[in-house]
């Protein structure tokens, strides 16, 4: 018997097993036979170059067989036949990568905009950083199969100190003034179904550590901003699952840490003063960045890596906050967003980020951003796991599209294209404990992106999307373009609300 016949029979046997609910090396329990459905369709992507995100070299001229939302086979095309009746997608000249993840998202524009834009951009996993009714409902509908969208992980409302930076700004938050309130908040959010507790900037030291302890007791992750009153290494040792943004990393790595920490803890911050926090802290952050001590940083980063503390750099956010005057005003992708959103972006840019800004601040912002790029490179070299995220909800950051901008920024920071790809694939899967996602391997979930150009040659080629596969469902070029057109029409039709949207910020 020829080897290709053996491979083909293996795939057919696997397809037959999945059709009856039997386990085929996937750890699935057997079940009674069921009637064939659309999910039973076998799909074969043939003669494609597979970039499986494990770090292995690209696999050229490979056939990938899908069935019932899973990957049945990843084999050289010469060794495997196409199962009879399979839907065949010709992958010649194309590149297959795992579905992408945005690990720092805020829902802003509603169901006609956000879920389809994520999927059309190849994003099959989203971590939403603030609880809201929309994403909770979408997740239920997606899991039930009644809505097309990414897998959603949804956190608690922001848990901040008192006074909170969010007072009076319209976004959901919880002010925990005491350790007891912090512990009660953790328990309440776990009972409410939050996937994690999102901690914020102005939590007191006692309350921060009470939340950390209660999260450990309740076995729920806690993550987010490092409090102004807590060292990064202390937060990592306490179990902080991921550090969001780069604002508070500088202090632990500064040769002036003791002096600067004394200064920042004395800065008066009023309730609702999130932008005031940005402005008041900027001189100290800049001083910390300029006094960056590589030897000291190496010890800090080794500690993060040892603890498994992730960092989500959100470089596209820092591009905006460090250099707001460089924000493009004519990006054609803005057409996918309602006029109300675009008007608010412009309002926030002019009145919050540019108002009173001096040429000196612009120069310092450019320098600070270049230092952030070097910081990300140092984190990666030290083995700190990085997660790709954008902070959608901040002005001019866009669901779907901005994740690709983030990948380009990570490449600009000096990460290899494979490492950049892993920040949006295998690293999020590891963080989420999803062993069957993030790579292209037999038995894994069939969340995939088919590209028309090689992302290992240029990471910007992740935008050259031909098709997207979501849990085995193929969104081909025609359907994908129709999705984008529908989003654009929905955005055009949306009325401008009487009340403005909540303020945008790094959150």
User: Hey, is 240 helix, strand or coil?
Assistant: coil
100-432: which CATH architecture? Answer: Alpha-Beta Barrel (3.20)
Confidence of residue 9 (pLDDT cuts 50, 70, 90): very low
Confidence of residue 132 (pLDDT cuts 50, 70, 90): confident
pLDDT value of position 238 = 98
Residue 5 has pLDDT above 70, yes or no: no
pLDDT value of position 352 = 84
Look up residue 272 and give its two tokens.
Answer: 């609702």
Sign for the pseudo-dihedral over CA of 166, 168, 173, 175? positive
Q: From residue 165, give the alpha-carbon distance in Å to each of 72, 268, 275.
A: 49, 12, 8
Nearest CA to 241 out of 156, 175, 325 is that of: 156
Q: From residue 194, give the alpha-carbon distance in Å to each of 152, 170, 306.
A: 11, 20, 27
Confidence of residue 2 (pLDDT cuts 50, 70, 90): very low
Checking DSSP bridges between strand 123-128 and strand 151-154, what pairing results, if any?
parallel
Confidence of residue 357 (pLDDT cuts 50, 70, 90): confident
pLDDT value of position 503 = 54
Residues of the chain with CATH 2.30.40.10: 3-98+441-476
Residue 28 has pLDDT above 90, yes or no: no
DSSP for 99-139 reads PEEEEEE---S-TTTHHHHHHHTTEEEEEESS--HHHHHHH
Residues of the chain with CATH 3.20.20.140: 100-432
Tell me the Ramachandran region of residue 307: left when phi exceeds 0, alpha when psi lies from -120 to 50, beta otherwise: alpha
Residue 328: partners with Cβ closer than 8 Å, 6 or more residues away: 396
Residue 325 has pLDDT above 60, yes or no: yes
Q: Pick one of 1.10.230.10, 2.60.40.10, 2.30.40.10, 1.10.760.10 as the CATH number of 3-98+441-476.
A: 2.30.40.10
């Amino acid at each position: 018997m020829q080897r290709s016949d053996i491979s083909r029979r293996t795939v057919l046997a696997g397809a037959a097993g999945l059709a009856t609910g039997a386990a085929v090396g996937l750890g699935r329990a057997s079940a009674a036979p069921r009637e064939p459905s659309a999910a039973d369709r076998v799909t074969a992507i043939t003669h494609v170059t597979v970039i499986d995100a494990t770090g292995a070299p690209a696999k050229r001229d490979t056939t990938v067989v899908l069935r019932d939302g899973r990957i049945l086979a990843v084999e050289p095309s010469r060794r495997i036949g196409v199962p009879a009746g399979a839907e065949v997608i010709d992958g010649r000249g194309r590149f297959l990568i795992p579905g992408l993840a945005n690990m720092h998202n805020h829902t802003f524009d509603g169901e006609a905009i956000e879920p389809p834009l994520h999927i059309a951009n190849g994003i099959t996993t989203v971590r939403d950083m603030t609880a809201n009714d929309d994403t909770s409902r979408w997740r239920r509908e997606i899991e039930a199969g009644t809505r097309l969208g990414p897998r959603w992980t949804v956190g608690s409302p922001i848990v901040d100190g008192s006074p909170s930076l969010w007072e009076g700004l319209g976004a959901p938050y919880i002010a925990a003034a005491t350790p007891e309130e912090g512990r009660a908040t953790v328990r309440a959010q776990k009972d409410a179904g939050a996937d994690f507790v999102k901690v914020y900037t102005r939590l007191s030291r006692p309350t921060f550590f009470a939340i950390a302890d209660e999260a450990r007791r309740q076995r729920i992750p806690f993550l987010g901003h490092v409090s102004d009153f807590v060292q990064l290494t202390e937060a990592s040792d306490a179990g902080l699952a991921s550090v969001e943004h780069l604002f508070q990393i500088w202090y632990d790595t500064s040769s002036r840490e003791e002096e600067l920490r004394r200064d920042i803890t004395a800065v008066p911050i009023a309730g609702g003063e999130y932008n005031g926090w940005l402005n008041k802290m900027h001189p100290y952050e800049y001083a910390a960045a300029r006094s960056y001590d590589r030897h000291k940083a190496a010890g800090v980063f080794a500690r993060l890596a040892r603890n498994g503390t992730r960092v989500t750099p959100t470089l596209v956010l820092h591009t905006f906050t460090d250099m707001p005057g460089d924000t493009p005003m004519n990006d054609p992708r803005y057409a996918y967003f309602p006029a109300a959103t675009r008007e608010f972006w412009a309002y926030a840019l002019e009145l919050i980020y540019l108002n009173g800004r001096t040429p000196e601040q612009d120069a310092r912002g450019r320098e600070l951003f270049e230092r952030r790029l070097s910081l990300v490179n140092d984190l990666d070299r030290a083995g700190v796991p990085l997660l790709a995220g954008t902070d959608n909800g901040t002005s001019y950051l866009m669901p779907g599209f901005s994740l690709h901008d983030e990948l380009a920024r990570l490449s600009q920071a000096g990460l290899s294209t494979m490492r950049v790809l892993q920040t949006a694939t295998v690293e999020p899967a590891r963080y989420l404990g999803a062993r069957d996602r993030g790579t292209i391997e037999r038995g894994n979930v069939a969340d995939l992106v088919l590209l028309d150009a090689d992302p290992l040659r240029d990471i910007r080629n992740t935008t050259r999307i031909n098709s997207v596969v979501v849990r085995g469902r193929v969104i081909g070029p025609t359907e994908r373009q129709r999705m984008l057109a529908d989003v654009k029409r929905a955005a055009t039709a949306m009325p401008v609300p009487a009340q403005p949207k909540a303020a945008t910020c790094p959150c």
